[in-house]
Amino acid sequence: MPLVAYFSMEYAIDNNMKTYAGGLGILAGDYMKGAKDHNFPIVGIGIKWKQGYTDQLVDDRGKPYDTYHNYTYDFLKDTSAEVSVTIRNVEVRCKVWKLDTFGTAPLYLLDTDIPENTEPWITGQLYGWFGEERIAQEMVLGIAGVRALRKLGIEVDVYHFNEGHALFAGFELIHEKMSVGASFEEAWRESKEEIVFTTHTPVVQGNETHPIDRIMYMGANLGLNSKQLRLLGGTPFNMTVGGLRLSRKSNAVAQLHGKTANKMWRHISNRSEIIAITNAIHLPTWVDPKMISAAENGKPLMPLHQKNKQKLIAFINKRNGVQLREDRLIIGFSRRVALYKRSNLIFTKPEVIEPLLKNQKIQLVFSGKAHPLDDKGKEIVANLVAMSKIYPKSVVFLENYDMEIGTLLTRGSDVWLNNPRRPMEASGTSGMKAAMNGVLNLSILDGWWPEVCDHGVNGWQFGNGFESDSDKKSDAHDLNALYKVLLEEVLPSYYDTPQKWEEMMRNSIVSTRHQFDIKRMLEEYFEKLYQK
Ligand SMILES: *Cc1c(COP(=O)(O)O)cnc(C)c1O
CATH number at residue 29: 3.40.50.2000
CA distance 355 to 348: 13
170 lines ligand 1 (CB under 6 A): no
Give the orientation angle of helix 168-179 with respect to helix 145-152, to 10 degrees.
60
Average pLDDT over the chain reads 97
Q: Name the residue range of residue 267's domain.
A: 4-280+519-530
pLDDT at 201 over 90: no
Strands 209-210, 237-238: parallel, antiparallel or unpaired by DSSP? antiparallel
The CA distances from residue 279 to 165, 337, 413, 468, 524, in Å, are 19, 21, 22, 26, 10
pLDDT at 129 over 90: no
**Average pLDDT rounded to a whole number, residues 166-186:** 98
pLDDT tens digit string along 85-119? 999 999 999 999 999 999 999 999 999 999 999 98
Tell me, yes or no, whether 69 and 168 share the same domain. yes
Taking Cα atoms as reference points, which of 272, 410, 238 lies closest to residue 333? 410
- Ligand 1 atom nearest to 426, measured from its CA: 8
CA distance 106 to 99: 6
**Distance from residue 163's CA to the centre of ligand 1 (Å):** 17
Taking Cα atoms as reference points, which of 293, 280, 286 lies closest to residue 520? 280
CA distance 277 to 525: 7
CA distance 135 to 212: 12
Taking Cα atoms as reference points, which of 343, 138, 334, 170 lies closest to residue 241? 170
Tell me, yes or no, whether 275 and 359 share the same domain. no
Tell me, yes or no, whether 276 and 319 share the same domain. no
**Distance from residue 155's CA to the centre of ligand 1 (Å):** 33
Q: Whose CA is nearest to atom 14 of ligand 1?
A: 406
pLDDT at 204 over 90: no
pLDDT tens digit string along 247-304? 999 999 999 999 999 999 999 999 999 999 999 999 999 999 999 999 999 999 999 9
Pocket test for ligand 1, best of 163, 200, 429 (most atoms within 8 A of CB): 429
Q: What is the dihedral of CA 484, 490, 491, 494, to 10 degrees?
A: 170
pLDDT tens digit string along 211-220? 999 999 999 9
Tell me, yes or no, whether 295 and 249 share the same domain. no
26 lines ligand 1 (CB under 6 A): yes
Pocket test for ligand 1, best of 24, 282, 312, 334 (most atoms within 8 A of CB): 334
Pocket test for ligand 1, best of 17, 24, 27, 335 (most atoms within 8 A of CB): 335
Tell me, yes or no, whether 273 and 304 share the same domain. no
Tell me, yes or no, whether 151 and 26 share the same domain. yes
Tell me, yes or no, whether 132 and 240 share the same domain. yes
**Distance from residue 416's CA to the centre of ligand 1 (Å):** 12
Q: Whose CA is nearest to atom 3 of ligand 1?
A: 23
- Ligand 1 atom nearest to 406, measured from its CA: 15
Tell me, yes or no, whether 171 and 314 share the same domain. no
Tell me, yes or no, whether 273 and 305 share the same domain. no
CA distance 95 to 112: 6
pLDDT (0 to 100) of residue 212: 98
Residue 227's identity, in one-letter code, is K
Tell me, yes or no, whether 168 and 317 share the same domain. no
25 lines ligand 1 (CB under 6 A): no
Tell me, yes or no, whether 382 and 493 share the same domain. yes
138 lines ligand 1 (CB under 6 A): no
Tell me, yes or no, whether 160 and 64 share the same domain. yes
23 lines ligand 1 (CB under 6 A): yes
Number of structural domains in the chain = 2
**Distance from residue 316's CA to the centre of ligand 1 (Å):** 19
**Distance from residue 429's CA to the centre of ligand 1 (Å):** 6
pLDDT (0 to 100) of residue 63: 97
Query: Which residues sit opposite 438 in a β-bridge?
Result: none
The CA distances from residue 252 to 159, 202, 203, 338, 394, in Å, are 17, 9, 13, 20, 38
Three-state SS at 236:
coil
pLDDT tens digit string along 314-357? 999 999 999 999 999 999 999 889 889 999 999 999 999 999 99
pLDDT band, residue 305 (cuts 50/70/90):
very high
pLDDT tens digit string along 16-67? 999 999 999 999 999 999 999 999 999 999 999 999 999 999 999 999 999 9
pLDDT (0 to 100) of residue 167: 98
pLDDT at 482 over 90: yes
- Ligand 1 atom nearest to 281, measured from its CA: 1
Q: Which residues contact 288 (CB under 8 A, 6 or more apart)?
A: 304, 308, 411, 437
**Distance from residue 417's CA to the centre of ligand 1 (Å):** 13
Strands 459-462, 440-444: parallel, antiparallel or unpaired by DSSP? parallel
Beta carbons of 1 and 31 less than 8 angstroms apart:
no
Q: What is the dihedral of CA 515, 517, 521, 526, to 10 degrees?
A: -110
Taking Cα atoms as reference points, which of 391, 378, 379, 374 lies closest to residue 320? 391
461 lines ligand 1 (CB under 6 A): no
**Distance from residue 373's CA to the centre of ligand 1 (Å):** 20
Q: Whose CA is nearest to atom 11 of ligand 1?
A: 22
429 lines ligand 1 (CB under 6 A): yes
417 lines ligand 1 (CB under 6 A): no
What residue spans of 164-301 are helical by DSSP H?
A: 168-179, 184-192, 212-218, 226-233, 239-245, 255-264, 283-286, 289-296
pLDDT tens digit string along 410-458? 999 999 999 999 999 999 999 999 999 999 999 999 999 999 999 999 9
Percentage of the chain exceeding pLDDT 70: 100
Taking Cα atoms as reference points, which of 31, 21, 46, 104 lies closest to residue 277? 31
CA distance 90 to 98: 26
